[in-house]
Amino acid sequence: MCQLLGMNSHAAASIRFSFTGFAQRGGCTADHVDGWGIAFYEPSGTRAFLDDRPASQSPLADFVRSYPIRSHNVISHIRKATQGAVGLANTHPFSREWQGQPWYFAHNGDLQNFHPPLDGSYLPVGSTDSEKAFCYLMQRLRTAFATEQRAPGWQALAPELAACNEEIARHGNFNYLLTNGEALFVHCSSQLASLQRAHPFPRAQLVDCDLSMDLGELNAQGDRMVIVATEPLTQGEDWQTLNTGDTQVFAGGELVWAHHCPRTRRFAVPGEALCGLISTELSATDPYQV
Amino acid sequence: MCQLLGMNSHAAASIRFSFTGFAQRGGCTADHVDGWGIAFYEPSGTRAFLDDRPASQSPLADFVRSYPIRSHNVISHIRKATQGAVGLANTHPFSREWQGQPWYFAHNGDLQNFHPPLDGSYLPVGSTDSEKAFCYLMQRLRTAFATEQRAPGWQALAPELAACNEEIARHGNFNYLLTNGEALFVHCSSQLASLQRAHPFPRAQLVDCDLSMDLGELNAQGDRMVIVATEPLTQGEDWQTLNTGDTQVFAGGELVWAHHCPRTRRFAVPGEALCGLISTELSATDPYQV
């Protein structure tokens, strides 16, 4: 099991508040110590930060928490290795380009006997089932829209992805976050929760560390965003649990498409251990924090 | 004009010493203020850091200088925009995957009337001539080795790249660094210099800031590495100037292949301004520094 965090926001927003709690799961409030990564879709382009150290002890994670980056889409992942050695090549999120768009993908789960027919359009660099699934998803999209001259919109992509999800999820839990910067595509096999925030923004309290923040001071009236995470990051907010077989698409900070596949099953997952709250400081001066 | 820095090393080595001087060219000793990036091929995989701020003022550049990363191959680039807006999508090095290998590319020059027939295998995300050239190079390799089941070695790749270089360099200066982690491929249209370091390692003095280091204390007897840069980074060392039309390949810390195309021409380049030395501190505790 790994931990996923995603954001889709109407206005470019900072993920620092959520990431501060989330990073604690990389070795502190949960035992996911096999590296972490985060990809940002900023107004001028994308960038990712990857590290093979535990997120809770990573100087790079400290840097990311302190660096004010505003994005419309973010995907982050904290790894607990099931397949593939610990190392940068197996660290999520993975990235590939299609139709001049950078795509990022992060996965939580364990796919068994998964040998998709990869045609060479995209091949894994590392040795995880996750990257193999990402390459196959991208190959399926490339094939399905081979005659298109431009990147299709989420309206066209979503049904194609939902069909792939059903197929891949037969091999194991396939909880994932995928984005091309236009929309955040989400699939749930076993565990994911989402939260929409909009005016009036609450005062939020992280569950992984002793930190709260008045999000109303930091966000404007028209702002709205969706946070998706393996487990809720805050207490006292209206987190929605996704169901096994759900494919959801978020764009402009709201749910825009949903599909439920009743045939998808949830595979057994090893238990997770919690080890207490951590007191953490975070500057409240950066607006649009979520 | 931009500034390039590359390293190919027999043992995994830190680029911190060279990068410290190089980063000064991003707004201090030279006026390349339109972003910077660096890609590392570490033993466990690759990662890149990109920023659209000037390298000499970038907190991320400070972080990279302070973070002990050891790599066999490094490509770094400091941008002075000629084509394409300032922003992350136009920040080098660019990356694509082919045959399960991550490739990174950085370019110095300005290609005019360059409209290669891109078939969709790789398409630019940003709007630079550089990324277009990279996509075309990767497409040419993919096409030339379409029947291969595995990534070809540099011995097969080098002649194919040299042929592409001659073609692309007709459109303008095409100084570049390209690597798949196995070898560092280099092409010179107008300005590049290389330096091999091996035992006995010298005491090196950077030209862009007041910093010197005894590299003999930091490297072992069998180590060897090659540094490639737009302009020499140190004084008193035996930097070799590449000639217009040179394609060179470095592997295992040494020159392993070279080709000269006498038909390649050097295009006129606007002048560069220098603005004095900067005093900089760097820890000498990290071994294998170059």
pLDDT in tens, B231-268: 999 998 999 999 999 999 999 999 999 999 999 999 99
Look up residue B155 and give its two tokens.
Answer: 């011995």
**Which residues contact residue B266 at a Cβ distance below 8 angstroms, ignoring those fewer than 6 apart?**
B173, B189, B190, B244
Model confidence band, residue B274 (pLDDT cutoffs 50, 70, 90):
very low
Output the pLDDT for position B56.
86
Q: What is the 3-state secondary structure (H, E, C) of chain B?
A: CCEEEEEEEEEEEECHHHHHHHHCCECCCCECCCCEEEEEEECCEEEEEEECCCHHHCHHHHHHHHCCCEEEEEEEEECCCCCCCCCHHHCCCEEEEECCEEEEEEEECCCCCCCCCCCCCCCCCCCCHHHHHHHHHHHHHHHHCCCCCCCCCHHHHHHHHHHHHHHHHHHCCCEEEEECCCCEEEEECCCCEEEEEECCCCEEEECCECCEEEHHHCCCCCCEEEEEECCCCEECCCCEECCCCEEEEEECCEEEEEEECCCCCCCCCCCCCCCCCECCCCCCCCCCEC
Share the mean pLDDT of chain A. 91
From A2, A28, A188, A209, active-site residue: A2
Are the Cβ atoms of B87 and A44 closer than 8 angstroms?
A: yes
Residue of chain B whose alpha carbon sits nearest to that of A41: B88
Model confidence band, residue A273 (pLDDT cutoffs 50, 70, 90):
very low
In eight-state DSSP terms, residue A129 is H
Query: b or e along A71-89 (b: 16 or more beta carbons within 10 Å of the residue's beta carbon)?
Result: bbbbbbbbbbbbbbeebbb
pTM attached to this predicted model: 0.93
The residue-averaged pLDDT of B206-216 equals: 91
Interface A:B, Cβ pairs < 8 A? 85
Closest CA of chain B from A45, distance in Å: 4
Question: Which residues of chain A are within 8 Å of residue B50 when distances are taken between CB atoms?
Answer: 45, 47
* Of A57-71, A172-186, A237-251, B115-129, minimum mean pLDDT range: A57-71
Measured in residues, chain A has a length of 290
Are the Cβ atoms of A97 and B50 closer than 8 angstroms?
A: no
The residue-averaged pLDDT of B189-210 equals: 94
Residue of chain B whose alpha carbon sits nearest to that of A35: B44
Residue to mutate among A36, A47, A179, with most B CBs inside 10 A, is A47
What is the side-by-side order of every strand in the sheet holding B234-235?
Answer: B212-214, B203-206, B234-235
Residue of A88, A120, A122 with shortest CB distance to B45: A88
Model confidence band, residue A33 (pLDDT cutoffs 50, 70, 90):
confident
pLDDT tens for each residue of B121-143: 999 999 999 999 999 999 999 99
The residue-averaged pLDDT of B218-228 equals: 90
> pLDDT at residue B206 above 70?
yes
Domain range summary for chain A, segments of one domain joined by +: 3-260
Share of chain B above pLDDT 70, in %: 92
> pLDDT at residue B184 above 90?
yes
The residue-averaged pLDDT of A6-28 equals: 92
Output the pLDDT for position A290.
67
Are the Cβ atoms of B88 and A46 closer than 8 angstroms?
A: yes
Output the pLDDT for position B55.
87
Output the pLDDT for position A204.
93
Q: By a Cβ cutoff of 8 Å, what residues of chain A touch chain B?
A: 42-52, 59-60, 63, 67, 85-91, 95-97, 99-102, 120-126
Question: Which residues of chain A are within 8 Å of residue B88 when distances are taken between CB atoms?
Answer: 42, 44-47
Closest CA of chain B from A98, distance in Å: 7
Domain B3-260 annotated CATH 1.10.540.10:
no
Output the pLDDT for position A286.
54
Closest CA of chain B from A52, distance in Å: 9
> pLDDT at residue A289 above 90?
no
Output the pLDDT for position B289.
62
Residue of A44, A46, A91 with shortest CB distance to B45: A91
Residue of chain A whose alpha carbon sits nearest to that of B124: A100
Share of chain A above pLDDT 70, in %: 92
> pLDDT at residue A203 above 60?
yes
Output the pLDDT for position B195.
98
Across A167-176, B82-91, B202-211, the highest mean pLDDT is recorded for A167-176
Residue of A46, A85, A122 with shortest CB distance to B97: A122
The residue-averaged pLDDT of B195-207 equals: 93
Question: Which amino acid is located at A145 in the chain?
Answer: F
In eight-state DSSP terms, residue A112 is -
Closest CA of chain A from B85, distance in Å: 9
The residue-averaged pLDDT of A5-13 equals: 96
